[in-house]
Chain A
Amino acid sequence: MSRIALLGPQRLQPFVGEVARGLEPHGSGAVITAGWQEHEDAVVELHEHLDRPTHNLDLYKRAEEVLRHDPSFADAYRERQNELRELQAYYRLRLDAAIEGVTALERRPERGPRWEEAHADAMKALRTLDQEHAARVEEGNARFEKQHNPLEHDHIRKHRKQLRKMVDDASFVAIAGGHVAVLLNRLRLFGMAELLAGKTIIAWSAGAMAISETIVLFHDNPPQGAGNAEILENGLGLARGVLPLPHSKRRLNLASRERIARLTNRFAPLRCIPMDEGDRVDLDGGVLLKNRTYRAFTTAGAVETAGV
């Protein structure tokens, strides 16, 4: 049975080593830091915290090598990234209108007897839009995989063979945060979902997002734009039933229960998990454990803990 621990950020108060020792006291570890991009190899501190033999899977570097060696595959890969950006831009435009539909209702000072129904319909339209976007991205991914069959690509096969051995030899895999789209792309490119299935995984921030079912980008107060949470695409789906929200204290307007409630209702039945410094939730065999450290946002916009 797989055991997965999702953690809050590890840069300032790291406790990943402690978690690893608790879950897997023996054996070596493997780390994925592809979200750090060119700084993927800056793992000295991480290795110190883990305090045992640890191998970096170097997914970012491996992907660069694959793309460098096969320009035509690199072109197709980049074209797919451009397509994803285009899809995201169109979705974002439609999302602004759909969210305005919900908030306009919520702003009304007087709510008549049919308000609940109208609000539920507006929320349903918003969820439909989210689902359509996720489906469009998924279709495109499937098309790309069918057309280019990356897992059968010579270079990728060579790397996958090495990666499979490294993962099999490790007692756990730690997946760090960083750029969530870059991380996800590299995980997908090397078919890591299959290699990681059943392993003990410790993931934080973007790492936690990437292995969950759905990746939601969010920031309630960005310097530009409306700050509407949006689906990036489906994640690897190793951590099911949860929607990790790293740095929630900094990125979400926690004072607005209405806003939090809208977020949790929109993505239900996934549980929205705030993941700040020191936070941890555990999944065992795919089941979310409501242990001592469990916290989640409720559909009313409050925070529930294991004891509540």
Chain B
Amino acid sequence: MTPVTDTMTARETLQHWIEKGAPDAAAIDAFIEENTFPIVEPGSVTYVFHGEADGVTLRHFVFGLPSTQPLRRVANSDLWYLTLDLPDESRMEYKFELQLGEQGRWIEDPLNPHRALDPFGANSVLQSYGYERPDWTEHDPEAREGTIEELRFRSRALRHDYAVSLYKPARFRRTRRYPLLIVLDGGDYTHFSNMKTVLDNLIHRLEVSEMIVAFTHPRDRLNEYAAMPAHDEFLAEELLPRLESRYPLIGTAEGRGLMGASFGAIASFSTALRYPDLFGRLLLQSGSFAFTDIGEQQRGPAFEPVVEFVNRYRAKPVAIAEKVFVSCGMYESLIYENRSMVPLLQSTGMDVRYVESRDGHNWENWRDRMRDGLSFLFPGPLWMVYE
């Protein structure tokens, strides 16, 4: 067997072993030690698993690719690999399924330190060539920190107590008037999308206006967020007046926004539609805008009221806010629905900004798009401030 040379890249080394046969265990251990995985190159990625298994399968959530793809063993070693073509600047969440005898088990990639958390646990994250986590999503010691105040009150519309975490910007002053953004799935946005840090940073950088943000915590999101009138009533007739009576808010449509992802985008949209001109700013991420032109919807019972709602809107689109920001990942099953919504929204005369990314239906995609969305809807004084 010809030896591996010092000038070979990790991918070339792997290819060499695939063609010429695997080396001894010590060489494989050294290879694992010396490289980072998956192996990322322009236009492609190679997943690597090292360990005992009868089979290894890549399980991912990229719409458009087969969701299950087997890794291949390098000769008779315990090294497994799979190379995929993947556009640069992509993010992909995935797991490995290990087969040991009759047992199958899903695990995070042990060789990849990047993880994305979500309400169901964690996934490994592949960052393809050229992707960089935006620096404004990470703690900036220079950014002054806002504060969070916990509120709880009884909702008559929903007939249960409702929890809200209220963000106030650093250097908050009662003498100033602030815009208000109501964020649905507020706990997930702060926990999985780092939204408090994002707000601190973007406000510090003057890219986003100082604002008050109400992070709401749903009790039964699949029902409440599926265009439920009682939830719309809760936001518009209970939460909003309560906040406007207690905090120094601008109190006009252009100073009020709703934000949500997935079903949360539907709930935001539904409230804005039911109370037109109350909320002037909408930030809709990967909205579940499922619709049918003919036949039955195939997405399951939770989508029934959503499809009905979106179909109704599509039949008679109207302007419901002055500015709307829509984002969606190209690797989501909802990309078709979101792309379809954009011209429809624009046709009503609303100022619509649409951004796509090579990413999936997840909280880090939504995190990475916040600068685009928030600075469009609530621009900060960057242009005017020179400190």
Chain A contacts to B: CB under 8 angstroms: 9, 11, 35, 38-39, 177-182, 205-206, 209, 217, 219, 222-224, 246-247
Contacts and interface: CB of A to CB of B under 8 A. Distances in A.
Given A38-B176, A224-B376, A205 B383 contact: no
A161 B171 CA distance: 32
14 contacts: A9-B387, A38-B175, A177-B387, A179-B381, A179-B384, A180-B384, A182-B384, A206-B386, A217-B383, A217-B384, A223-B207, A223-B371, A223-B372, A224-B375
B379 interface: yes
A180 B173 contact: no
A178 B387 contact: yes
A108 to B, nearest CB: 29
B382 interface: yes
B385 A180 contact: yes
B386 A178 contact: yes
B151 to A, nearest CB: 25
A180 B386 contact: yes
Give the most central of A39, A178, A223, A224: most B CB within 10 Å. A223
Contacts of A217: 383-384
A118 B176 CA distance: 50
Nearest to A230: B383
Given A38-B173, A206-B385, A222-B383, 12 more contacts: A9-B387, A11-B387, A35-B385, A38-B175, A178-B387, A180-B384, A205-B387, A206-B386, A217-B384, A222-B382, A223-B371, A223-B372
A178 B385 contact: yes
A179 B375 contact: no
A231 to B, nearest CB: 12
B146 to A, nearest CB: 15
A67 to B, nearest CB: 14
Contacts of A205: 386-387
Interface in B328-387: 371-372, 375-376, 379, 381-387
A35 B381 CA distance: 12
A35 B386 CA distance: 9
Contacts of A179: 381, 384-385
A209 B386 CA distance: 9
Contacts of A224: 375-376, 379
B386 A247 contact: yes
Nearest to A182: B384
Give the most central of A178, A179, A224: most B CB within 10 Å. A224
A33 B386 CA distance: 12
Q: What are the 4 A-B residue pairs with the smallest beta carbon separation, nearest first? A: A223-B375, A206-B386, A205-B386, A246-B386
A219 B382 contact: yes
Nearest to B171: A39
A55 to B, nearest CB: 22
B16 to A, nearest CB: 39
Give the most central of B173, B383, B386: most A CB within 10 Å. B386
Contacts of A35: 385, 387
